[in-house]
Amino acid sequence: MSPKEILKVENVEKRFGGLKALNKVNLSVYENEILGLVGPNGSGKTTLINVISGIYKPDAGKIYFFGKRIDGIATYKLAHLGINRTFQIPKPFHGLTVRENVEVAALYSGKQCLKSFFKHLKNFKFMEKDYCNIEDDVQTALSIVGLDKFQDKQATQLNTSEQKLLGL
Ligand SMILES: Nc1ncnc2c1ncn2[C@@H]1O[C@H](COP(=O)(O)OP(=O)(O)OP(=O)(O)O)[C@@H](O)[C@H]1O
Ligand SMILES: [Mg+2]
C-alpha cells in the first residue's frame, strides 16, 4: 500500500511587491515522513512555512492537508485542523509546567479535556463531565519528544533545545 499523503503543496506562488519569493513550489509530505527544507538565505523557506501555516495567503497554487484545501485558511483554524508552526526562539508559557504547556496546546487545538488545567476552578466538578480525557494524548506527545520525564518541571527550567522540543 502506498504511504498516505498528509500535506501537498501544488504550484504555490507568493510575491512581495515585485519580488517573487515562491515560484511554483511543489512538495508532498507522507505519513511517518519528516521533510527537511534547505536552501540559501532568502530562497523562501520561511515564506513557504508562513504560507502553509496560514500567516500569508498564497498568490497562486493550492495546499491540501489530508486531501482538504487549506490555502488561505486563518492560522487559528489551521491549528484546529492540526497544522501549526514553531518559531526560532521558543516561547513556552513560563508560569506553567511542561505538562501544562502541552495541555494548553491540546485544549486550543480542539481536544475535549483538560482536567488538571481546570482543577483550580470552583466549578470544576461541573466541567469535569465535559473536559476529561486528553491525558493519554498529552502523555503520548510528551514521550514522543522525550519530555515525559520533565513534565512536572516549570517550562523555564528546560534548556533551549528542550524548549524547542516542547514547542514541537
Ligand atoms: N514580509 C516580507 N516583505 C517583503 N519581502 C519579504 C518578506 N518576507 C520575505 N521577503 C523576501 O522574500 C524572500 C524570501 O525570504 P525568506 O525569509 O522566505 O527566505 P529564507 O529562505 O527563510 O531565508 P533565511 O535562510 O535567511 O531564513 C527574500 O528575498 C526576502 O527578502
Ligand atoms: Mg528563514
How many angstroms does the Cα of residue 2 sit away from the middle of ligand 2? 32
Ligand 1 binding pocket, CB closer than 6 Å = 16, 19, 21, 39, 41-47
Domains of the chain by residue range: 5-74, 98-167
DSSP H stretches of helix in the chain:
45-52, 75-81, 98-108, 115-118, 124-128, 135-144, 160-167
70, 83 contact by CB (below 8 A): yes
The ligand placed nearest to the CA atom of residue 17 is 1
Ligand 2 centroid distance, CA of 140 (Å):
30
What is the CATH code of the structural domain delimited by 5-74? 3.40.50.300
Query: Which residue is it, cell 487559528?
Result: 76
Q: Residue 49 CA: which ligand 1 atom is closest?
A: 18
Give the pLDDT of the chain (168 residues) as one tens digit per residue.
788 999 999 999 999 999 999 999 999 999 989 999 999 999 999 999 999 999 999 999 999 999 999 999 999 889 888 888 988 899 999 999 999 999 888 877 765 444 555 555 555 554 554 555 678 888 988 999 999 999 999 999 999 999 999 999
Among the bound ligands, name the one nearest to the CA of residue 48: 1
Tell me the CA–centroid distance for residue 9 and ligand 2, in Å: 18
Burial class (CB within 10 angstroms; exposed 0-12, middle 13-18, buried 19+) of 135: middle
CA–CA dist 117, 140 (Å, integer): 18
C-alpha distances out from residue 48 to 26, 32, 90, Å: 10, 21, 20
Closest ligand 1 atom to residue 17 Cα is 4
